[in-house]
Amino acid sequence: MSELNTQKFCPEELATAFSLNGKYQSCYTIEHGHINDTFVLEFENERAEKEFFLIQVINVNVFKNPDELMSNIIGVTDFLRKKIADANGDTNRETLTVYPSKDGKPYYLDSTGRYWRCYNFITDAYTCDTMDSPEVFYNAGKAFGKFQMLLDDYPIETLFDTIPNFHNTVSRFAAFKKAVEDNLSGRLDSAREEVDFVLAREKDAGILLDLLGKGELPLRVTHNDTKLNNVMFDSKTHEGICVVDLDTVMPGLSLYDFGDSIRFGASTASEDEKNLSAVEMSLELYESYVKGYLFYAGKSLTENEIKYLPFSSKLMTYECGMRFLTDYLNGDTYFKTEYPEHNLVRCRTQFKLVADMEKKMSEMERITTEAYESIR
């Protein structure tokens, strides 16, 4: 939570732009993710109770088509809400709900051309940027596994590609090579070691895409940004109650979701830790997540999906590090950064994790096989 920068927008204007219950009271900002700006609006309803709503500016630099983006999110959240209701779940806490603007649109376009959207804000819940509890990380695995299971029969052909080739590691590699050649920021010399690290692993980039192309991995509805801080945990039970940040829900591989969760959540340090000796991939956390993930998703995964779970962790970490490095070389035009070396620092943590996973790969494979055997 931080001080509200009211120059950025007028909260009163937004409070009246959406069809929300009650009287607007106040607004604060929350730090969430590297892409969108996020705020919370506090309202008071007729019974003098507080109600909270989350509002976000859609980053149109990243998501070029807000209509398609919101169509995906509304489609998926409506679908989830129905399944949650059928299972007698709490539809206010277990899924996001999009509140339309007063003119019936899925967003509000303000006078400066910014697109705003409004969601329910889930209270009595928390998110984590790092994880040291295997029990809570097990719950994160359950939440993302359940998310995937619930969307198993979602009509995949109705989804738009909100960011084409988002996890196409081959095209990410090509974009990286171009960034090296262009050296737009003039920073190449400060990142030679990291550039060589990426180049040495080029052959990994196409492995999952080749399997997909040969029909040996299925295309599914996936989240595509399964960072630990995109799941909300109940403050009392610590269960993962709601998966958030649905901007990148698209057709994809289950392995993207699994691997990205390990990349972020099984690390012993934060994504921008400068002290690399603190950065490792914890096998204990890996094991908790695999078990939690397979709890719901295990039964529907194919043999190849299981087989590539450990490799996907390495691949997604490699891809993310490569994206940070690409952005560093391009002059920080994509990810939000707090200081000039931020993307370089981030890519170093990712490559430290990749190297650590390479050392631990046979252990990760053993843990995965054992976890899978236990649910069959």
Output the furthest CA–CA distance in the chain (Å, rounded). Answer: 63
DSSP conformation class of 281: B
Least distance to ligand GN1, CB of residue 254, Å: 16
Write b or e for each residue in 162-196: b if 16 or more Cβ atoms lie within 10 A of its Cβ, otherwise e: bbeebbbbeebbebbbebbeeeebebbeebeebbe
Instruction: Find the binding residues for ligand GN1 in span 243-272 (CB under 6 A).
Output: 245, 247-248, 271
Check residue 134 for interaction with Mg ion (CB under 5 A). Answer: no
- Partner touching 280 among Mg ion, ligand GN1, none, CB below 5 to 8 Å by kind: none
Question: Residues in contact with ligand GN1, total (CB under 6 A)?
Answer: 12
Task: Give the residue with the Cβ less far from ligand GN1, 51 or 326.
Answer: 326
Check residue 69 for interaction with Mg ion (CB under 5 A). Answer: no
Stretch that binds ligand GN1, among 32-40, 124-132, 142-150, 195-203 (CB under 6 A): 32-40
Task: Give the residue with the Cβ less far from Mg ion, 37 or 51.
Answer: 37
Task: Give the residue with the Cβ less far from ligand GN1, 194 or 247.
Answer: 247
What separation in angstroms does the CA of 180 have from each of 152, 185, 272, 329? 39, 10, 22, 7
Among the listed residues 302, 151, 335, the one whose alpha carbon sits nearest the alpha carbon of residue 227: 335
Among residues 27, 35, 73, 217, the one that binds Mg ion under rule CB under 5 A: 35
- Partner touching 34 among ligand GN1, Mg ion, none, CB below 5 to 8 Å by kind: ligand GN1
DSSP letters of 68-89? HHHHHHHHHHHHHHHHHHHTT-
Check residue 62 for interaction with ligand GN1 (CB under 6 A). Answer: yes
Check residue 310 for interaction with ligand GN1 (CB under 6 A). Answer: no
The closest residue (CB) to ligand GN1 is: 33
Least distance to ligand GN1, CB of residue 35, Å: 4
Residues 6+ apart with CB under 8 A from 284: 134
Check residue 96 for interaction with Mg ion (CB under 5 A). Answer: no
The helix-helix angle for 66-86 and 134-150 (nearest 10°) equals 100
CB-count exposure of residue 234 (10 Å: 0-12, 13-18, 19+): middle
306 backbone dihedrals φ, ψ, rounded to 5°: -65, -45
Residues lying near ligand GN1 in the complex (CB under 6 A): 33-35, 62, 225, 227, 230, 245, 247-248, 271, 320
